[in-house]
Structures are given as C-alpha cells and as structure tokens.
Structure 1
Amino acid sequence: MNIKKLNPESSAKAAYGARLRGLRIERGWTQEWLGIEIGYSSTHISSVETGRKLATLRFSRSTDRALGLVGSDASFERELSRIKFGSMLEGFPEFLIYEGRAAEIRLYEVGVMPGLLQTPEYARVLADSVVKRKAITPVQAEERIALVAERQAALVRDDPPLVFAMLDESCLRRPVGSPEVMRAQMDRLIEFAEQPHTVIQVAPFDMGEHRPFSLPITILTMPDRSLMSYAESAQQGYLERESSSVVPHLTAYHQLQAAAPSQAASVDMFWQLRKGF
C-alpha cells in the first residue's frame, strides 16, 4: 500500500492528522476500524490524517472517546480548539470547551453584545473593524463570525443550558454598524427573552456603584454542579476552577440580578431603543 508521508511541521492541520495517524497505528487499528468506532468513512479519516480536510468538533470528540482522551490535555478537541481559535486570547479556547458543555451559563457583559447573543450582522461589523485595525486577517475574521454561530448552536441543542444574561446598559447604547444592524440586534434580544430556558436583564447606568462587576464575567455551572468562571484582561483570558474563588462571583451575580430591573422591564427598554435606531 502506498502510504503518503506526512509532514506535521507544515501546518497545525497537518500536525493534527499526523498525530491521529500515529495513535491509530500504535493501537494497530486500520482506518476502516477507526471509522467504525467513530462513525466516519475510512476516506474521511484519510483526508484528516493527510491534512486535506480539517477535523470538525464532532469528529474530534468521537475520536477522543475512541482513544480514551476525553477531558485530557492531549485530547483532539483541545487541539482543534487551538487550531481554529489561535487568534483569540490565551485561555479563551479552553473556556469554549466548557461553555459548550455547561448546564447553566451566567454572563455579564459591558460595552458590546456578548457573543451568545450577537446577530451575524453585528458579529461581522465587529470582526471587520478588527481587520481594519490590522489586528487579525480577513480569514481570522471569518473564523470569528463562524464561532459566534457555533457557540449559539449550543443554545438550541436537545438539552440546552439555562442562560442568564445580564447586560450593562452600555451594550445597548453603543452603536455598532448601521441602524438596521442595531434594530436586528434588538430583535434578537427580544427573541432571546422569549425562550423557556433564558433570562435577560439590563443593568442600567443609574445603578451606579451598586453594580458588583466592572468588567465582563461568565460563570459556568457544569452538569456535575461544579463551578468555574471566565474573565479577560486586555492580554489574556482567565479560567478559574477553584470553587472558593468562583462562589463569591456567583453570590455577587445573584445580588446584581436582584437589584436590576426585571426581564419584562428590560424587554420594554429593547423595544424603546429599537424605535430610536
């Protein structure tokens, strides 16, 4: 059999494929056998191993289960995340893995709509603005836009997470793109509020010092009820797993929810702002 020689140093995609082939051969598995284990054709596996095709999240998770790598630092899911989101802040790709599995998501955002709530048009304006500053490439911008859709897909899965969204009023007042973009974004917030597994509230400017957070934060409750939080500086993302550090954030989040206007009042604000754009 003519086996194509691989060069794992040529690209991250090639390194992924080469490692997959190496682990498969170590176990004495053929491509056909691995395909049966993970539900893909041998042709598809060959394309991934030779770098002709980038693996998907589903492929990576299935491979991790077959190879016993689920949740480990060596998992293909983590490797795929590093490939796809290399232009993101350090720490963010790891956070995305946990966000996609969370049973409950509590987020607080300042200044810009959170990714889980952005329309494609809003996401494109933000990504294009970063390209204009030459901070990322057009290809990376497209990856960011695709990431928004991928993250939101978790909200409509068979067993979706409970999502509590707290938006600082600055998220609503800051114009992004055209009036049409902002009206569509307000529509998105209104639709989000109507879902059975979501709650959305606005922290208005007049809450002043009663807002416990000055920077964005996300708190995740995992299926086993463990907690973690994620926050960012200008240079790096920080994923905190120690409950002793996360519980005070959760308490502050509950206090913020109690002090903020209700969801009904917040939706009224969305409607009023929509008329003004």
Structure 2
Amino acid sequence: MVNVQTLDPTASPLNYYGWELRRQREAAGLTLQQLGAVIFCTGSLIGQIETARKVPTRDFSERVDAALGSDGLFFRLVGLVLRSQLPTWFQPYAEMESKAAYISTYQAQLVYGLLQTEEYARAVLATGSPDDLEGLVAARMERQRILERLQPPLVWIVLDEAVLHRPIGGAGVMRRQLERLLEFNRNRWMRIQVLPYSAGEHPWLAGAFNVLRFPDHPDIFYTEDMMSGHMTADPETIREASLHYAHLQAAALSVSDSAALIARVMEERYEDRSQRDTVA
C-alpha cells in the first residue's frame, strides 16, 4: 500500500496549497501522471508540490487552474505561498513595501531587491547556503510584481558606485543586471542615481536603508543587519533619515550622468566577449 503523506493545511500557505491541489486533483479523478500530462510537467513535480517539498510557480498555478477548472484559485494562492518563503523577519517589511506609494533607498553593497534580475538574485541568495534557494529566488521575484501595477510606486534609488563594480555572479550576470538598471531608468516613475567614489565620506557609510511613504499611513524607516530587519515609524528617525537621504542625492551624480556611468562600467568591466569574438 502506498504511503500518502498527510499535510496539515493550516500549517502554512505552502501546506494549504499542496493540500488543496491534491484534494482537487483527486476530485477530478486524475492521477499525478495524468494531471502532469495535461499541464506539461512530471507527476513527480506535482507530487512534490502536493507534499510541500517544492514551491509552485505562477506559470504552474495558471496551468493547474486551467486543467482543474478552479477559477483562478491556485493563481491567487501562489502569491501567498511565494511571500511566505521570505525570511520571517523580512515579511513585515515586504508587506509594507507592497503598499508603499513612494520608496527611497540607499544601497551600499547590492542592487536593491526590487531591481535585481533573477540570476543576480540567485547568486546573492546562494551565499547564505539556504535549504530552498529556488523558493527564495521565487519569493524575491514575487516582490517585484509591485512594479508591474498600473500605478507602481515612485522609486528613487541611490546606489554606491561599489555596487556596479562588485562582480556578483560573474561578468555575464553583471552585464545583464546593469542593462536592467538602464531599462528601469527610462521609466518615468523610477530614478536611479549613483553615488561616486569621489563623494568620499558620508553619514551612511555603515550601510543601506529604505524609507517608505504611504497615502494613509506614517512613513517607515527600515534597515537591516545580517540576522534581522528593523522597522520604525518614529518621526525623529524619519526626519533624520530624510535629511541624510537629501544629502546623498545632492552628492550623487545626476540621473543622466548616473546612466552614463552605469553604461560605461557595463561596457568596460563586463564586456560581452561572445559578441567581440563573433565580430573578430
């Protein structure tokens, strides 16, 4: 007799997704392999998702909804599942970030998570040797869906020049990441400035921070260390952070000069050798 793993659907969004998928598949009279044949994946993959050993994707969820006639249930659930894969300490910030009307951030080491390509994110997240790297990557990509809204938040980013030179994931990954920054900079609701090395010392040499603004909620200041995040709506902290951010913006290159620097670093430091060899 086959030993079927029983999930507690109240344990987590991932557990509930797997429990509901099994329930609806069995109600439709389909085996794992039969459903897999309909949605073009293996029965093994479906089994792993049903037992909460693998995180579903949005594409998978759309195909399951179509196959089982579940009226978009799994597509709605997958957002909760993916957000639940974020570190527990980060989830409150991600929830507030998703509601913000304006985001301003200074990043000293890395490209801001909302702007990362999938391969850049994977290289960054892999440094922590997580048990489920793909789940974390999927969760980070899910965060970026706020930029696809009809009315996305206004986003102003100041990147330390060091971010452009740190070769996360290798030359190819960095080239595509910098290309994406240039694409983002063409959006009217996003502005990217680079704080050059020549700016010297400044109040936020210690690290990155974000300020979130809302139409009907107090502003929030957020920073994090290696182990946890710290969020506050203290007015004095917000005033001080806003003042420091204004100084960073003033010291940074203009948006157009920043784009020129990003393009120059991309070409000089992360040259596309495959194209060069083809031309040669």
How high is the TM-score relative to the length of structure 1?
Answer: 0.69
Residues in 2 aligned to 1:59 and 1:218: alpha-carbon distance in whole angstroms: 34
CA distance in 1 between partners of 2:115 and 2:242 (Å):
21
Paired with 1:125 and 1:240, the residues of 2 have a C-alpha distance of 30
Letter in 2 for 1:118: Q
Deviation at 1:222, TM superposition (A): 1.3
Counterparts in 2 of 1:102 and 1:55: CA distance versus 1, 3 Å: farther
Match of 1:113 in 2: 111
Q: Which residue of 2 aligns with 1:122?
A: 120
Residue 250 of structure 1 corresponds to: 242
Count of aligned pairs between the two proteins: 224
1:182 maps onto 2:174 in alignment: yes
CA RMSD of aligned residues (A): 3.5
Contact 2:10–2:16 at 8 Å: present in 1 too?
Answer: no
1:160 equivalent to 2:152? Answer yes
Separation in 1, partners of 2:98, 2:260 = 30
The separation in 2 between residues aligned to 1:258 and 1:208, in whole angstroms, is: 13
Contact kept, 8 Å, 1:81 with 1:94, in 2: the verdict is: no
Query: Does residue 1:84 correspond to 2:85, yes or no?
Result: yes
Q: Give 1:82 deviation, angstroms.
A: 7.5
Aligned position for 1:26 = none
Q: 1:92 to 1:122 in 2, by over 3 A?
A: same
Residue 207 of structure 2 corresponds to residue 224 of structure 1: no
Describe the shift of the 1:173–1:56 C-alpha distance in structure 2 as closer, same or farther (beyond 3 A).
Answer: closer
Residue 99 (structure 1) aligns with = 97
- Equivalent of 2:193, from 201, 209, 215? 201
Task: Quote the residue 2:266 is aligned against.
Answer: 274
Cα distance in structure 1, aligned partners of 2:222 and 2:57: 25
Deviation at 1:213, TM superposition (A): 4.8
Out of 221, 228, 246, the residue aligned to residue 236 of structure 1 is: 228
Using the TM superposition, give the Cα deviation of residue 209 of structure 1 relative to its aligned residue in structure 2, in angstroms.
1.6
Residue 59 to residue 226, structure 1, CA distance change in 2 (3 Å): farther
* Letter in structure 1 aligned against 2:90: F
The offset of 1:176, in angstroms, is 1.2
Shift of 1:10: 8.8
Aligned to 2:152, the other structure's residue is in SS state: coil
Provide the rounded CA distance (Å) in 2 between the counterparts of 1:251 and 1:116. Answer: 24
Aligned 8 A contact 2:82 2:135 in 1: no
Moved more, 187-196 or 247-256: 247-256
**Distance in 1 of aligned mates of 2:94 and 2:174:** 26
The yes-or-no answer on 1:136 pairing with 2:130 is: yes
The whole-number CA distance in structure 1 between the counterparts of 2:174 and 2:56 is 35
Contact 1:165/1:201 (CA < 8 Å) preserved in 2?
Answer: yes
TM-fit CA distance, 1:143:
1.6
CA shift, 1:81, in A, is 7.5
C-alpha separation in 2, matches of 1:218 and 1:166: 10
Q: Using the TM superposition, give the Cα deviation of residue 126 of structure 1 relative to its aligned residue in structure 2, in angstroms.
A: 2.0
* Whole-Å separation in 1 of the counterparts to 2:83 and 2:255: 37
Structure 2 Cα separation of the partners of residues 247 and 56 of structure 1: 40
When the two structures are superposed, what TM-score results if normalisation uses the length of structure 2? Answer: 0.68
Q: Which runs of 5+ in 2 are unaligned?
A: 1-5, 18-22, 28-48, 59-71, 271-280
Q: Secondary structure at the match of 2:207?
A: coil
Is contact 2:222-2:229 (8 Å) kept? yes
Paired letter, 2:173: V
Q: How many percent identity over aligned positions?
A: 30
